[in-house]
Structure 1
Amino acid sequence: MTYKFNVMTQEQAENIAFQWHYDGDYSFYDMEADEEDLDEFLSPEERGNTTFAITKDMELVAFFSVSKIADGIFDIGLGMRPDLTGKGNGIEFLRAGMNYVQSEFNSEKITLSVATFNQRAIKLYRKGGFKDVETFKQNTNGSTFEFLKMEYTC
């Protein structure tokens, strides 16, 4: 069965925001960890029609967002349900997302940013063909963290 991308409903956003909790350092990715991110995620206007609930076999397994940066360049954000992480599901999900962006948005380049402590995700993105671009500091979750910007040329 394949991943299905549908515009996220309010019920799905609330489920992800309040029910998905990651272990240890990965709790950084809990929606409730940053009030501004939480407010944005829960707002139907902010999510618009470019934040998707991902289902597999009719079960909510992930979310995926797409933002147009420039002509042909799209930035993505993604998250997998906590109980599915670290079990080898990432590459299939990442490739499904990349294929979706290429087919639905006619992308030439896909970018993403990931916290540098998240070596598990960085390894996955590199395996998927993303290249390191630069590191930068960003204020989030009540502190300043280092992120790695990565890109994939379609």
Structure 2
Amino acid sequence: MVYNFKTMTQEQAEDIAYSWHYDGEYSFYDMEADQEDLVEFLDPEKRGDYTFIVLKDHTLVGFFSFTKIEANTIDIGLGMRPDLTGGGDGLAFVKAGVAFAESTFTPDKITLSVVTFNKRAIKVYEKAGFEAGSTFMQDTNGSRYEFLEMTLTY
């Protein structure tokens, strides 16, 4: 599978923010579920040149954001189009994002945080080589949730 990364446009950010809706407990990931995240995602200045749409066969399948948090550490955020989640493409999608981060930023370490109830995503991240670290509590989406820090070290 070939995934192509392109800098996200404002129109694409708005489409993702307002039309991507996940089922059940995964509605936690709807952009509109947290106003602070929504504002940040829709602000081109805050999104910068480090948020990318991911295309497969010219079709939008997801997005990745990359944030440099230390000299050689990149933190990633990602989202897969709701109708594609749970279909078995998650590992290839995550590996494509990691490969893009490696070739673009040459980090020594890649980190991400995932809500602990998302066992499906945690399994994918582990298969991609991420190791579980500590957990932390964070206020988001109108409540308090436990998150797991995960790290991929080279």
CA displacement, residues 60-117 of structure 1 (integer Å, 9 cap, x when unaligned)? 1101000001111000000000000001000101000001101100111000000000
Q: TM-score, normalised by structure 2?
A: 0.98
Query: What amino acid sits opposite 2:119 in the alignment?
Result: Q
Structure 1 runs (4+) greater than 4 angstroms displaced: none
5+ residue gaps, structure 2, are none
Q: What percentage of aligned pairs have identical amino acids?
A: 62
Task: Give, in whole Å, the separation in 2 of the partners of 1:124 and 1:103.
Answer: 21
Task: Give the secondary structure class of the aligned counterpart of 1:54.
Answer: strand
Task: Give, in whole Å, the separation in 2 of the partners of 1:4 and 1:78.
Answer: 15
Hey, what does 1:6 align to over in structure 2? Answer: 6
Query: What amino acid sits opposite 1:72 in the alignment?
Result: N
Task: Give, in whole Å, the separation in 2 of the partners of 1:9 and 1:83.
Answer: 21
Task: Give the secondary structure class of the aligned counterpart of 1:117.
Answer: coil
Query: What amino acid sits opposite 2:104 in the alignment?
Result: E
Hey, what does 1:97 align to over in structure 2? Answer: 97
Q: TM-score, normalised by structure 1?
A: 0.98
Q: How many residues align?
A: 154
Q: CA RMSD in A?
A: 0.6
5+ residue gaps, structure 1, are none
Task: Give, in whole Å, the separation in 1 of the partners of 2:36 and 2:85.
Answer: 24
Task: Give the secondary structure class of the aligned counterpart of 1:49.
Answer: coil
